[in-house]
Structure 1
C-alpha cells in the first residue's frame, strides 16, 4: 500500500487530496513539519532533507510535493488530475511551476508569521510577501478569468498544489478581494469533497 509521511496540515495534505481524488488507498504516517520524527535516522534515510512529505510506493521512495503529485497522476490517474495531450501537460507544468517559483515563498512567509510569531508578526516580512503577491497574482487572476481550473478544463494537480499553497496566504489574512478569480479558485479547492474528507478526518 502507498504510504504518505506527513500530516493533513502539511504539504502532505496536497498528496492525500490527490490520492483521495484518485481513489487510491494509502496509509498516513502522521508527522508534523520540523518535528522530532522528521529528524530521526529512519526518516532521514527516506528523505535526507528531513522535510514533508515523503511517499513510499512499493520500491519507490519519492520526496518533493510536486514530483509526487505528477507521479501519482500519471501512474494512477488514467488522465484524471493529468492531461492527454502534450500541450495540456505543458500547461500543468507551467501553472504548477508559476505558483511554486513566484508565489510559494511569500505564501509560506505569511503562514510562518501567522503561526509562529506569538501574535507579533514581522511587518517587514509581511510587507515583502504581500508585495510579491501583488506582483504575481494579476497574471494568475487573468488566467482564471472565465475558468474553474488553472491548467485544463478539468481538475488537475496544478489546481491542488496551486490553490492550497495560496490558501496559506488566506489563512494568514491576506486580502484577496482584488483577485476574485483567484479567491474563488482557492475556495473551490478548499470545498472540494476530497479536501473536506481530509478536514473531517483531521477533526476526528
Structure 2
C-alpha cells in the first residue's frame, strides 16, 4: 500500500485527491507543513528537504508534489488522470507548470499573509505585490478556460488537481476572483469533486 506523508491542509491533499480519483488504497501519515516530525532524521532520510508531501510506493521514495502526481497518474488508473499522446501529455505539463511557475509563489504568499500575520491583516505591500502577479498571469488561464471545463486534454487530469488546488490558496486568502469567473468556476469544480470531498472528510476522521 502507498504511504503518503502529508495532511489534508497541505500540498499532500493534492496527492490524496489523485489517489482517491484513481481508486488506489493508501495510508496517510498525518503531518502539517510546520510539523516538527518533518525535521526528524527518520523523515529527512526520506525527504532531505524536510517538507511534505512524500510518498513510499514499494521501493520508490518520492518527494515534490508535481513529480508525485505525474508518477501516480502514469502508473495507476489506466490514464484516468493522464493522457496517451505526446501532444496531450505536453498539454498537461504546460498548464500544470504554468500555474506552478507563474502563480504558485504569489498564491502561497497570500495564504501565508492570511494565516500567519500577527494582526490578521498581513503586510499590505506583500499582498499588493502577490495580487499584481496573479493579475498578470490569470488572464491567460481565464481565456483558456472560456470554452473548457478542464485545463488540458478535454478531461480531468492531474493538471486540474494541482492547478485549481494551488489557486484555491488565493481564494482562501480573500483574493477576488470576480474578474476571473472561468478560473473561479474551475477552482470550485475541483474543490467540490467527489475525490476532494473524500479527502476533506479525513480532516474530521
Q: TM tier, shorter chain? A: over 0.9
CA distance in 1 between counterparts of 2:121 and 2:147 reads: 39
Whole-Å separation in 2 of the counterparts to 1:34 and 1:183: 29
Instruction: Give the C-alpha shift of residue 152 in structure 1.
Output: 1.3
Report the alpha carbon displacement of residue 173 of structure 1 after superposing the two structures with TM: 0.2
Q: Secondary structure at the match of 1:144?
A: helix
Q: Distance in 1 between matches of 2:31 and 2:200?
A: 16
Deviation at 1:202, TM superposition (A): 0.9
Q: Which residue number in structure 2 is paired with residue 170 of structure 1?
A: 171
* 1:89 aligned partner: 89
Other-structure match for 1:34: 34
Query: In the TM superposition, what is the alpha-carbon distance from 1:198 to its structure 2 partner?
Result: 1.2
Residue 78 of structure 2 aligns to a residue whose secondary structure is coil
Aligned-residue RMSD, C-alpha: 0.6
**Counterpart check, 1:200 vs 2:171:** no
Segments of 5+ residues of structure 2 without an aligned counterpart are none
1:174 counterpart SS class = coil
CA deviations over 1:45-83 (Å, ceiling 9, x no partner): 000000000010000000000000000000002111001
Aligned to 1:190: 191
Match of 1:128 in 2: 129
* Secondary structure of 1:124's aligned partner: helix
The answer to whether the Cα contact below 8 Å between 2:102 and 2:137 also exists between their aligned partners in 1 is: yes
Contact 2:23–2:77 (Cα < 8 Å) also in 1: no
| Residue of structure 2 in register with 1:59 after alignment | 59
Residue ranges of structure 1 left out of the alignment (5+ in a row)? none
1:30 Cα deviation after fit: 0.2
